[in-house]
Structure 1
Amino acid sequence: MPSPPYGFRFTVAAARSGFRLDAAVAAEVESCSRSFAATLIRRGLITVNGLGKKPGYVLRAGEMVSGTIPQPEAPDFRPEKIPLNILYEDSELVVIDKPPGMVVHPSPGHIGGTLVNALMHHCPDLSGISGSLRPGIVHRLDKDTSGVLVAAKNGMAMQHLAAQFKSRQVRKRYLALVYGVPESDLGTVDLAIGRHPVDRKKMSVTTRAPRSALTHWKVRESFVGASLLEVDIRTGRTHQIRVHCHAMGHPVIGDPVYCRRGEKKRLASAAPRMAQGLRDVTRQMLHAWKLSFLHPKTGKPLTLEAPIPADMGALISKFRELAPVQS
């Protein structure tokens, strides 16, 4: 059942003097993130000494902060009994091995069958997070990218995990099967990413609004006309790996957006035995392999690993059959 609205009040202690209002509320009120606190402050639901303030208002010791946390909004989607491959779970979080083809969050084009729908069924007692009953999705994977994804079960875990992602404490390692063989065994792509200047559905390293993006990569295996890369991203820009692999001249096999025309045909010509295997590829061969972070409650490091999915594993096996694997 949804939690009813509730009020809170606290006197600013000396230790909180100098804090921003939104940060102090997030620290004092359970299951209230800083961003949600800022929203409530702007709506006038949180005051200081009875007066409305801005989220960035700097508090002084002795001031009285009071407010109301509204009832969580009912989600516009329903729990669905969808099987989940759970890699780890406790009272604070759940880590999923997301299959390719599953959308993470409901949207106008995908109102059902998403990971959130599945989590709502799996965790029916989820507490309200940032004014919503939806699970705490901290990060996302593209629909056709498989692998490790973590979701928070309560506001404290959500805030802690979000802070780790923001401060780049989380280590994210992927496996990408790409066209071609890089000249070096390892390297770094340090190219800012933003919206494509013409095609707004795409991201690009040529953009009017660049945001820093850093990708480290190394070749795990090289084949005839293709390579398996281990990719370590230190930022989390939309389509980052796919865009950076394209910029390297080694787009991800099966990528419907960033793969250059003719790549599949050229590879099939170089390795005719791969022609049917390439025709069977229906999505980008990109897998979120490992995710490392600190547990939001214990502070202990966690590393979760998702095995390579069947379709990607089958394609890698076909490449290995062509010639001996090179290190």
Structure 2
Amino acid sequence: MKKIIINQDNISKRLDLFLTEELGESRNFILKNIKSGKILVNNQIVKGGYLLKQDDEIVINELKVDTSVVASDIPIDIIYEDNDIMVINKKSGMVVHPGNGNYSNTLVNALMHYTDELSDEAGDNRSGIVHRIDKDTSGLLLISKTNEAHRILSDDFKNKRIKRKYIALVHGIIDSSKGKIVAPIGRSKFDRKKMCVTEENSKKAITNFIVLERYKNTTLIELILETGRTHQIRVHMDYINHQIVNDPIYGRREVINDYGQMLHAAYLGFNHPITKEFLEFTVNPEKEFDEILDKYKNIS
């Protein structure tokens, strides 16, 4: 069971649209569970179009899913592991958890095959998952093996105590050595699979970046997030017209191959949820990332 208390930022949002974004599930899936009474507002069954009010309590019971999540023997790159947590280097192309009709070949399927010791705080189809990165984004992910670790890490993410750094290759030359993008992000009215910068039904989003190298017509940057919105880096770089190279959704037309966006979660720093020891990890991008990077480096 999960409880959500509505704050001022989410007043007047439709219940179904709010939960679609909050849970990362399809609107139809959310509506089915609202109608079946799996999702309650202030202990009452309401309609999907219910407009949220300050301090409304949403209770989400175990949601009915169409397919069970099955453990799969899929290789995973484990950077660190102890009794409470794991740090994984996720490959580009791997979905983090099942959802929206995709219930196989995800990181959760792989984790369930590797170990029975995974937190279930986020639900059965998100066993061990504390945070996410996009399917075609590679790099570091923090996994919780116990519910206690999950609760502490979730609070650390919420209160910005966990440090994450990304690297990305973007189109165009960024003249300034660093920058800060402050622009709210919400779901696009025109394409429900896309996010966009908008003042309507949006959440605060802040992205900081530092220029690492400039090439002929691209720039390599490091990014640090102050918030963690869906597709945040990709949307913000599109917003300032420096789209991520090879991004099939938010990028420009010149997509080199199907590797996906040139975005890599390179650094993770956090206090261990139980021992409180500060841990930090850095991983290099995959060879496919480097191959695309070399192509742009060598343009004269």
Deviation by residue 1:64-122 (Cα, 9 ceiling, x = unmatched): xxxxxx9xx9x911111111111111000111000000001012432111000000011
The yes-or-no answer on 1:295 pairing with 2:272 is yes
Task: Give 1:168-179 correspondences, 5 Å limit.
Answer: 168-179=160-171
Task: Please say if residues 71 and 109 of structure 2, whose CA atoms lie closer than 8 Å, have aligned partners that are also in contact.
Answer: yes
The alignment yields a C-alpha RMSD, in angstroms, of 2.9
Shift of residue 318 of structure 1?
2.5
1:195–1:207 contact (8 Å) kept in structure 2:
no
- Partners of 2:222 and 2:192 in 1: how far apart? 29
Describe the SS at the equivalent of 2:250: coil
Q: Is the 8 A contact 1:196 1:207 kept in 2?
A: no
Residue in 2 aligned with 1:77? 69
AA in 2 matched with 1:291:
L
Mapped pair 1:309 → 2:286 = yes
Question: Structure 1: how far apart are the matches of 2:79 and 2:160?
Answer: 22
Counterpart amino acid of residue 296 in structure 1: P
> How much does 1:171 deviate?
1.1
**Do structure 1's residue 219 and structure 2's residue 211 form an aligned pair?**
yes
Tell me which residue corresponds to 1:106. Answer: 98
Q: Is the 8 A contact 1:120 1:134 kept in 2?
A: no
What letter corresponds to residue 102 of structure 2 in structure 1?
Answer: H
Find the counterpart in structure 2 of residue 196 from structure 1.
188
| 1:197 Cα offset (Å) | 2.9
Equivalences, count: 247
Counterpart residue number, 2:200 = 208
In the alignment, is the contact (CA less than 8 A) between 2:156 and 2:162 conserved in 1?
A: yes
Deviation at 1:280, TM superposition (A): 3.3
CA shift at 1:126, angstroms? 3.5
| Percent of residue pairs bearing the same amino acid type | 40
Paired with 1:131 and 1:113, the residues of 2 have a C-alpha distance of 18
TM-score (norm. length: structure 1): 0.69
Q: Which residue number corresponds to residue 34 of structure 1?
A: none
Structural mapping, 1:239-318, within 5 Å: 239-261=231-253, 264=254, 279-280=256-257, 282-318=259-295
Structure 1 residue identity aligned to 2:284? P
Separation (CA, whole Å) in 1 of partners of 2:121 and 2:223: 32
Alpha-carbon separation, structure 2, partners of 1:222 and 1:198: 34
- CA distance in 1 between partners of 2:160 and 2:277 (Å): 17
Is the deviation greater in 127-136 or in 224-233? 127-136
Q: Is the 8 A contact 2:259 2:288 kept in 1?
A: no
Counterparts of 1:282 and 1:313 in 2: how far apart (Å)? 11
State the TM-score, normalized to the length of structure 2: 0.75
SS of residue matched to 2:203 = coil
Bigger drift between 279-288 and 139-148 goes to 279-288
Q: CA deviation at 1:125?
A: 3.7
How far apart in 1 are the matches of 2:183 and 2:273?
31
Instruction: Read off the aligned partner of 1:155 and give its amino acid letter.
Output: N
Distance 2:197 2:119 in 1: 40
The equivalent of 2:176 in structure 1 is 184
Return the alpha-carbon distance in structure 1 between the equivalents of residues 190 and 115 of structure 2: 42
Say if 1:212 and 1:199 are closer, same or farther in 2 by CA, change over 3 A. same
Cα distance per residue 1:187-236 (max 9 Å; x no partner): 11011111123222211112411211111101111111111110011100
Conservation of the 8 A alpha-carbon contact between 1:127 and 1:133: no
Deviation string for 1:267-315 (max 9, x for gaps)? Answer: xxxxxxxxxxx63353111111111111000111111112111111112
Preserved contact between residue 104 and residue 141 of structure 1 (Cα < 8 Å): yes
Given that 2:120 and 2:126 are in contact with CA atoms closer than 8 Å, whether structure 1 keeps it comes out as yes
Larger deviation: 100-109 or 159-168?
A: 100-109
**Secondary structure in structure 2 of the residue aligned to 1:79:** coil
Aligned to 1:49: none
Q: Residue 236 of structure 1 is aligned with which of 215, 228, 237?
A: 228
Distance change in 2, residues 1:140/1:225 (3 Å): same
Distance 1:125 1:197 in 2: 40
After superposition, the Cα gap between the structure-2 partners of 1:181 and 1:130, relative to the gap in structure 1 and judged at 3 Å, is closer
SS of the counterpart of 2:79?
A: strand
Query: For residue 31 of structure 1, what is the aligned residue in structure 2?
Result: none
Change in Cα spacing, 1:307 to 1:56, as seen in structure 2 (3 Å) is: same
Check conservation: 2:170, 2:243, Cα contact below 8 A: yes
